[in-house]
Amino acid sequence: MSEEKNIAIKKEENRYYEMLANFIGPFISVIAGLLVGAIFMLSIGRSPLTAYAVLFNSAFGSLAGISETLVNTTPLIFTGLAVAFAFRTGLFNIGGDGQFLIGYISAAWVGYIIHVPMIIHVPFAILFGIITSGIWGGVAGLLKAKLGVHEVITTIMMNYISLYLVAYLAGGPLKGATFLPATKKIFDSAKLIKLMPNIRGSRLSIAFILALLTAYLIYYILWKTTIGYEIRAVGLNSEAARYSGIKAAKNMILAMFISGGLAGMAGITQVLGLQHRAYQPFGFIGYGFTGIAVALLGKNHPAGVVLGAFLFGILQRGSMQMQSIAGVPKELVQIIQAIIIFFVAAEYIFKYIAHKLKENKGGVTSVE
């Protein structure tokens, strides 16, 4: 009879192999991405070593460089958290780009429409942006929970609806008086405080600090509160959650609202911290999609998301210099990103290897 206990112990051991694979997987994926990037560079006769040296040097070589890297990291932390949080409820938020734009235009509007002290203006602009982008994301949760409509399709469609909506708003009703296809400039009272005012040209604002705090907050919600407990239960088995009195529908809508708000934060901080007005978009910047890569790389854990966002922040920051100095088109970074996702997505390979490892050690798999 203690045989049962032994089987349970062995199955637990298997789990540790899987967890190990969880750490090694992303690591190998990043290396693979950089290697494939190198192959692309070699194929056009450029030196990968030089290019990567330039890339990392521009990201870390100076305080200004580091500041710019963190500027690039900030929105990715938010969109990465957005994807990761939705994932925990079992939902795939592929609509980060749309939610980004909704947060972006909302914050810009609040930024110039009212004139109040900073202590009110900034929080209010942020809050308003979170609510609108949260609702934008929440719609997908609502349709999923009430009508079973696949959130991937809804969020894709909502992306384009928001793209055209924001393009209409920024180029039409909300357009500023200048020749720019953009809204009016926001008031100083709505601008985020700069973190490195002494470094010339540094654009880093407290948005970065906000992003880190948000990551911690999301971690706390997910693993320390009843809200997170319910969200994770719904994500892992919504039927069992429902049977124990947890409202799956409510949690899906809530999770998509929070997820949308998180992606919206990327847009909000973009306006309040960097651009100070909302420009008419002609396409997606891709923060939402890169957020998927970030979340995958970070295994949907907030700490992993911060690391993943940092990595992609480095790549994005370095790509410009890589182009001008090493002669490697900056789009190579996107290729590297894609390769990294390919490898993370194919984690089955790593699981398979882990599986083989434990088979050799005489582990147990389930039968029948």
Partner 1 sequence: MLNSMIALLNTTLRMATPLILAALGGVFTERSGVINIALEGIMLISAFMAMAGSYLTGNPWLGVLTAIIFGILVSLIHAILSISLKADQIVSGTAINIFATGLTAFLLRVMFESAGQSPSVTDVGTWTIPIINDIPIIGDVLGEQIPFVYIALILVAISYWVLFKTPFGLRIRAVGEHPAAADSVGINVIKTRYIAVLISGFFAGLAGASISIGLLDVFVENMTSGRGFIALAAMIFGRWTPQGALLAALLFGFADALQMLAQSIGLDFIPRQFLLMLPYVLTILALTGVIGSSEPPAASGEPYEKE
Partner 2 sequence: MSNQNSLAVDMQGITKRFPGVLANDNVDFQLKRGEIHALLGENGAGKSTLMKCLYGLYQADEGDIFIYGDKVKINTPNVAINKGIGMVHQHFMLVQPFTVAENIVLGSEPTKNNMIDMKKAIQDVEKLSEQYGLNVDPRAKIHEISVGMQQRVEILKTLYRGADILILDEPTAVLTPQEVHELIEIMESLTNEGKSIIFITHKLKEVKSIADRVTVIRRGKSIDVVDTADATTNELANMMVGREVILEVEKSAAEPGEVILEVENVHADNDRNLPALNGTSFQVKRGEIFGIAGVDGNGQSELAEVMTGLRKLKSGKIMINGKNITNYSTRDIIESGVSHIPEDRQKRGLVLDFSLFENMILGSHYKPPYASGVNMNYSSIKKESKRLIKEFDIRTPNEEVLAKSLSGGNQQKVILAREFNRNPELLIAAQPTRGVDVGAIEFIHKRLVEQRDAGKAVLLISLELDEILSLSDRIAVIYEGKIVDILDIKDATEEKLGLMMAGAESETVVEGGE
CA 61 to chain CA centroid, nearest Å: 26
Cα–Cα dist 22/225, whole Å: 25
Give min distance, CB of 154 to partner 1, in A.
6
Pick what 286 binds: partner 2, partner 1, none; C-beta below 5 to 8 Å, kind-dependent.
partner 1
Closer Cβ to partner 2, 150 or 356, answer by number = 356
Rounded to 5°, angle at Cα 358 from 357 and 364? 155
Q: From 13-21, 258-266, 327-335, 357-365, give the range in contact with partner 1 by CB under 8 A.
A: 327-335
Closer Cβ to partner 1, 72 or 159, answer by number = 159
- Which of 331, 359, 361, 365 binds partner 1 (CB under 8 A)? It is 331
Give min distance, CB of 218 to partner 2, in A.
14
Q: Is 242 a binder of partner 2 (CB under 8 A)? A: yes
Structure tokens at 15: 């789990």
- Nearest CA-CA partner of 96 in 258, 313, 282: 258
Closer Cβ to partner 2, 212 or 227, answer by number = 227
- Which of 161, 206, 285, 325 binds partner 1 (CB under 8 A)? It is 161
Give min distance, CB of 129 to partner 2, in A.
24
CA 162 to chain CA centroid, nearest Å: 18
Cα–Cα dist 81/264, whole Å: 11
Q: Is 290 a binder of partner 1 (CB under 8 A)? A: yes
Using DSSP's 3-state secondary structure scheme, residue 60 falls into: helix
Structure tokens at 66: 């580091």
Cα–Cα dist 328/37, whole Å: 10
Residue labelled with tokens 């393009």: 167
Q: Is 160 a binder of partner 1 (CB under 8 A)? A: yes
Binding mask 242-281 for partner 1 (x = CB under 8 A): ----------------------------------------
Q: Is 146 a binder of partner 2 (CB under 8 A)? A: no
- 292-329 burial, b at 16+ Cβ within 10 Å, e below that, comes to bbbbbbbbbbbebbbbbbbbbbbbbbbbebbbeebebe
The H or E element containing residue 76 is: helix 63-88
Q: Is 353 a binder of partner 1 (CB under 8 A)? A: no
- Which of 125, 126, 186, 233 binds partner 2 (CB under 8 A)? It is 233
Do residues 272 and 109 lie in contact, with contact meaning Cβ atoms separated by under 8 Å?
no
Structure tokens at 319: 């790509």
Q: Is 249 a binder of partner 2 (CB under 8 A)? A: no
User: For the chain, what's the residue count?
Assistant: 368
Q: Is 368 a binder of partner 2 (CB under 8 A)? A: yes
Sign, CA torsion 206/129/338/326: negative
Closer Cβ to partner 1, 56 or 289, answer by number = 289
Q: Which of residues 130-159 bind partner 1 (CB under 8 A)?
A: 143, 147, 149-150, 152-154, 156-159
Closer Cβ to partner 2, 22 or 47, answer by number = 22
Alpha carbon distances (Å) from 361 to 350, 365, 368: 17, 12, 21
Give residues in contact with partner 2 (CB under 8 A).
Answer: 1-2, 4-5, 7-12, 15, 224-227, 229-230, 232-233, 236-237, 239-247, 358-359, 362-365, 367-368
Binding residues for partner 1, rule: CB under 8 A, are 40, 44, 92, 94, 143, 147, 149-150, 152-154, 156-161, 163-165, 167-168, 172, 283, 286, 289-290, 292-293, 296, 329, 331-335, 337-339, 341-342, 344-349
